[in-house]
Amino acid sequence: MMSADNTSIISASGHLSISRWDRRTGKGISGPFHIRPACFGVVAFSPDAGRIATTSSRYEVFVWDASTERLVAGPFYGHQNWVTAIAFSPDGTRIVSGARDQAVLVWDICAPSAPVQSLERHHGYALSLIFSPNGSHIVAASTDHLVRVWDLRNENSIPQLLQGHTSCVRSVDVSSDGALIVSGADDRTIRVWGMSTCQTIYGPFEGHSDYILSVKFSPNGQQVVSGSQDCTVRVWDVSTGNAVAGPFTAHTSRVNAVTFSTDGTQVVSGSDDGTIRVWNVQSQPDANAHIERTPADSRAVDSNSTGTWKLNPEGWVVDKDENPLMWIPPLAHDAIRPPAPDHILIPRFNLPISSLLEGKAWKELCRRQEGKSIRNVSIRTVRLMPSPSNSTRPLTVSSPHVPTHWHSLTTMSLPLPAQSDSKSGLSLQVLKSRAGARFAILGLTVAGVLYYLAAPDSYRPELAWPREKPFTVPPPPPPAWDQEFDPPPLPPQGGGAPVKPPSNSQMAERAEAVRKAFRHAYKGYVDAAWTYDELLPNTNGSVNNFNGWGVSVIDSISTMQLMGLKPEYDSALDFVVRMDFDIKNDGHAPFFETAIRYLGGLVSAHSLARSAVTGPLSSLESANTNSNSYAGREHILLTKAALLADKLLPVFDSPSGLPFFGVRTSGPAPVYPTDDPKSYKYSKASDNAPGARITPGGSAPLAEFASCQMELKYLSWATGQARYFLAAERVMDVMKKVAPRLPLPGLFPIWWERTAGTPIGDHVSLGAMADSGFEYLLKQYLLTGRTETALRDLWLDASDSIISHMLYISPNRKLLYITDISGGSHSPTGKLEHLSCFLPGLFALGADQLTEKEGMTKQRKERYMWAAIGLTNTCIGFQGTNAKWIDELTKWERTRGPGDLPPGVTTKWTRVESDGQRDYSSSDPRWLSRPETLESVFLLWRTTKDPVWRERGWAAFQAIEKYSKTQFGYGSVSHVDNKSAATAANSQPSYFLAETLKYLFLLFSDDSALPLDQFVFNTEAHPLGVWKWRDWEMEKYKIH
């Protein structure tokens, strides 16, 4: 906020370090004042700036004295969830607070024991609150697309609803005369309303290209300033809606807060890029200017300092001799130019080239603690975690005059106070090499670090890169995307020694062949079946078989991201924007398929976008300059995922918690009033009767109810909404309750009674109807940062029992196989399904990722890897017995008893066509484009590094190209055992794009693409970045 005398600015960082700055010089006047406890950066200043209101992780509100740093009032208890907005009354005696419990409470500072007024609950929750200038009204911006106005003079008044925005409203303000209200929303518009009429008077004002995060009236009420997710600041004329100043474009991350100076001649903005900027309203920048489009400026940043440097047109920082030092992404160019006529609040960054050191160990540059966002014009500083090696020195950017928060290195021009002593100012150290080689920095690495650190921590998995890699200066990256874009090589990742990119160009050619196969298949879909679910590749037709929402698009997004297919990716994002998840004729969506394909596809795309690890997204912000720029658009994926999940949640409103078969998704999503884990009812949150929404279905198969947890838990972690976790965990609670009573540890039967939540019968399978139920036990544990140990233990029990009771060896060829068992004696059925071929990959993943402390003893690891290699050889092996090396469903002869372990299992396979020689007979000769064998081949390559797996994967791909490819796409194969009858069936399943081709591409790609310790694949091959539950979440959700 601006001080009353217009001389200073008060700011708060995301974790509430409060400082006061001289508006003219940018020097700190007072602070930093560190407030604890703090939570989410929710803060408000009293009108005289003498008091500060904050919130805590326990849903409390506090009031502090800004000069003494002492608690004045509070804590105020009343909310049942995180507080999202607070504001002081004009006289500073009252506070209004809004929270995710959808309540808005008014407090008397002198009487904090209970709220003096509880206003009507929202259907959403408040993101911004403000009193009118005379204190008679409260205005709220809400997530339910509405602006609410309460008249405090009438205790029983019903709020006035201001309707017009079509998306979440994020910010509101009231003019100084109390006559007008301004609001900014995610629909990218600004509206001005009459306080008395509650109708739109002016607007909507359009011009921002992304969410509007902050709006503020000028002192005379004639202008409005806005800050946006698109990184720009604009000033509008209230009466005409014309932009009278801006766009101001120097911010490199979203603008969280804006305000006018008291004389109205300047505006101040605070951003996630760590800067506060002051703009002259009279300035008129180019109306078409945008950060990504601004050309590089070669002006020196400080022509008087030693080690002067400049930015050349290609984006390289060069010294006075034009030697390249480091490369800066285009997104950051504006922030490193001298300000004129506007200025950053604090003096400009000066890069002391003379203090740079050489080196090679840089592992810790990509590690960062919890980030702090800039709220209410906040400031952040930079510090990167030091390397644990004693032979290295950390990269640090710091200053004693700025609050020492962990902070994202969004640009290399973070503003810091000027220092008279260079040793106490900014230091940028890049470790010395022992050979004392000439100074060099890996420019693309710096660029990657910038993009990695620019993302909020809540969307970014923690990376651990190996150290000891020499620095080299690469050529600058291409300025724009090519149509045939190859993802740039990524730094090696993982816990062991760095894995070098394949030296044999054949691997790159194979990966490119798979990419071309995907583009052929997807082009066929776009040309003939766009907006439908799947392509009919023989007839060039289309079919709706999964809700009619375009499942091939959503299932393909993560593959596009991995392969770097920008045109297809941009088109898919535009497709997602228009999704509403309604079904024609008011039909019902099957929960299982909808969750793994649609919900899994959306949350995976969101996770990959925020991780900045996959090929296209690591440099998308710098390369993409059109309206489809992904900067900030990850929220579309998360918003749509949450909308879909909210429409699906009524399936969990069963007596046991096991989900019903399907749900009617047409119409608005139910509104959920609380995240209370003790009394959560999904159907009662809606006006729709549960019977009208639910398709009960018969008995529940294990895979149907135990294969949604990864998707829902990621969504709960990413959004902060507990209801998704609670729904998923109710299912796991049922399984944990049943586990001690199972005849064989960990082996859950296929069929369950939905109402009672109890097993039906004793048929155990790792094939259809059960497979992913076992898969998600291990993968949930890995995905959530190894915090849910009960799930790990269940998976270990199940795996031990599978190896002991469900594996058999064929009599002649000595092939290891898995089959179903049933009955009290656990008799085998003699059937092996191709769907079961995911299991060896799961064994290999567990053996590779779990440590001895986690139960993976040396003996257990050897046993699991034996099973993994033996089973994968079998799955690939009976591909080899077929005329075209493509899998089939088979029946096997039982020859050995349970627990018959090696020696005796073959590791070789040859082509055999006689049923007698095969040891089995074919039950279903079709190849349905399934990926399970190739999934295991990929995981065996990653965990053993035996090149034989790549060769076998390539043989499978060549067979797919020969027998499955059609003019329009790829079809399933109707009869793999008969060359003359082997014609491509008229079906191109979406999982062929999501799984089969993705695993093949990864098989021939460098291991740094989606490392196994940082990403976990759902059962539809949608990768999710690993995260770790925070302490308060583990306590709230009772995770153990």
- Please list the active-site residues: 593, 771, 888, 932
The β-bridge relationship of strands 316-318 and 324-327 is antiparallel
E strands, 798-846, in order:
807-809, 816-818, 821-822, 827-828, 831-832
What single letter denotes the amino acid at residue 525?
A: Y
Within 10 A of 695 (CB to CB), how many other CB atoms are there? Answer: 15
DSSP type of residue 699: S
Residue 986 to residues 951, 963, 965, 973: CA-CA distances in angstroms?
A: 29, 13, 11, 9
Q: Is the dihedral of CA 602, 606, 607, 608 positive or negative?
A: positive
Asked if residues 676 and 1037 have their Cβ atoms less than 8 Å apart, the reply is: no
Q: Which residue has the tokens 């022992």?
A: 434
Instruction: Provide the CB-side half-sphere exposure for 310 (13 A, CA).
Output: 12
Helices assigned H by DSSP within 564-669: 566-577, 591-593, 600-611, 620-623, 634-648
Half-sphere exposure (CA, 13 Å, Cβ side) for 867? 32
- Cβ-based neighbour number of residue 176 at 10 Å: 13
Q: Roughly how many angstroms between the first and final C-alpha of the chain, as a whole number? A: 44
> Residue 662 has which token pair?
């399907």
Q: Which two tokens stand for residue 682?
A: 């999904």
> Nearest CA to 1 among 375, 308, 272?
375
Give how far Cα 67 sits from Cα of 29, 30, 70, 508, 682, Å.
Answer: 12, 9, 8, 63, 47
Contacts of 533 (CB under 8 A, 6+ apart): 542, 543, 544, 545, 546, 547, 548, 549, 550, 551, 552, 990
> Is the distance from CB of 563 to CB of 484 less than 8 angstroms?
no
Pairwise CA distance, residues 272 & 455, whole Å? 10
Is residue 921 within 8 A of residue 889, CB to CB? The reply is no
Written as six digits, the tokens of 409 are 């290195």
**Cα dihedral across residues 271, 276, 278, 284: positive or negative:** negative
* Cα–Cα distance, 685 to 672 (Å, whole number): 5
Q: How far apart are CA 594 and CA 644, in angstroms?
A: 9
Q: What is the DSSP string of 184-211?
A: EETTSEEEEEETTT-SEEEEEEE--SS-
Among residues 61, 60, 29, the alpha carbon closest in space to that of 44 is found at 61
HSE-up of 984 (CA within 13 Å, CB side)? 23
* Distance, CA of 826 to CA of 816 (rounded, Å): 18
Q: In angstroms, how far is CA 468 from the centroid of its own chain?
A: 30
DSSP SS3 for 158: coil
The DSSP code for 37 is: S
Backbone angles phi, psi at 803, to 5 degrees: -65, -35
Element (H, E) at 277: strand 276-280
Q: Give the containing element (helix H, strand E) for 557.
A: helix 551-563
Is residue 1019 part of an annotated ligand binding site? yes
Q: d(Cα 621, Cα 402) in Å, to the nearest integer?
A: 29
Q: Residue 237 corresponds to which tokens in the numbers above?
A: 């004329």
DSSP 282: T
Rounded Cα distance, 46 and 53, in Å = 8
Task: Note whether 185 and 214 are within 8 A (CB).
Answer: no
Beta carbons within 8 Å of 881's beta carbon, 6+ residues apart: 911, 912, 913, 918
Can you say which residues are annotated as belonging to the binding site for Ca(2+)?
A: 1019
